[in-house]
Amino acid sequence: MTLPRITVLGECVADAFTEPASTRNELALRVLPGGGPANTAVALARLGTPARFLARLSGDVFARLFRAHLEASGVDLSHAVQAAEPSTLAVAELDTQGQATFSFHAQGTADWQWTSAELAGVDLAGTACVHTGSLALAKEPGAAVVEDFLAAAAPRATISIDPNVRPLLVPPEVYRARLAHWCGLADVLRLSEDDLELLLPGTPPEQACDIWHAAGARLVVITRGADGALASLDGERVRVPAVATPVVDTVGAGDSFTAGLLHHLGTRGLLGGRLTDLRLEDVEAACLFATRVAALTCSVAGPNPPWQDQLAQFATAGDA
């Protein structure tokens, strides 16, 4: 079975994790390829969905790591831009629950410099879904170019957006100011509880879903960590539980959830338009699948999503 292609647009970030050093006056870092959109592209490809990643990749040592990681996972980089700027670096500190706090080194880096000319030649024939979000959709000067690309893609592809708010790099008010416009472009909006609190402080999840439906998003999914996920399809809601798993860290879990959600919808032939054939039971099944993909990501260090054959331990009848 050939699954429909999903095109992902966004950043690839060097995630550096602190490790014990041999002496007191040095800092040891372990660098892994990350970045929300890149993580989603990798997870999609490992699940078996043809995934193309539109990225601006530097020529530095981090970008060579990115390319090797993406290509080894089966991601199509044929439309990646060779960028002159350096790669973005994020340094992560983990708390006792495996939650990461990031500090970013992102001034003038490759990921945010998109031009209209770089995206003008991208052929979306055969692409059922375009997914983006995170910093590439919020950080200038490239953010407006990405928005224009989504608007041009919308007539022929399902649009999926993950805001993935990063307040250390982009003030939350920038996301708030653009979110209604993004919902007007998006068919799928996936975000975390933390994103919700930054975007609509103190707003109950159900009320937030209705606000974003009114702005245009048909399917809103709010992931809630150990409490699972809330999904809302045009105001019809379903909650799905999380999968219990030993947690090493939660880095990339939301990105893996998004990939699992889109992959499952793609296997059912539900991507490629405005989700007009989507039913609440389809959403529930896709979210249940996505929670297993996210759980496996949490069980290993860093943004390292599972391969399709690793999902057997969580498989149930009828899952992709």
Where are the extended beta strands (E) located within the chain?
5-9, 13-19, 28-34, 51-54, 56-57, 81-82, 88-94, 100-105, 127-133, 158-162, 188-192, 219-223, 229-233, 236-240
Which residue type is seen at 201? P
How many whole angstroms separate alpha carbon 59 and alpha carbon 84?
7
Catalytic residues: 255
Rounded to 5 degrees, what are φ and ψ at 12? -125, 120
How many whole angstroms separate alpha carbon 166 and alpha carbon 136?
11
Q: Would you call 78 exposed, middle or buried from its count of C-beta atoms within 10 A (0-12, 13-18, 19+)?
A: exposed
Q: Is 278 in a helix, a strand, or coil?
A: coil
Q: Would you call 160 exposed, middle or buried from its count of C-beta atoms within 10 A (0-12, 13-18, 19+)?
A: buried
According to DSSP, the residues that pair with 30 across neighbouring strands are: 17
Which residue type is seen at 265? L
Token pair of 224, please?
Answer: 């809630």
Rounded to 5 degrees, what are φ and ψ at 64? -65, -35
How many whole angstroms separate alpha carbon 18 and alpha carbon 270?
41
Measured in whole angstroms, the distance separating CA 172 from the mean position of its chain's CA atoms is 18
Q: Is 165 in a helix, a strand, or coil?
A: coil
Inter-CA distances, 320 with 44, 184, 210, 262, Å: 12, 30, 30, 12
* Cα atoms in the 13 Å half-sphere on the side-chain side of 52: 19
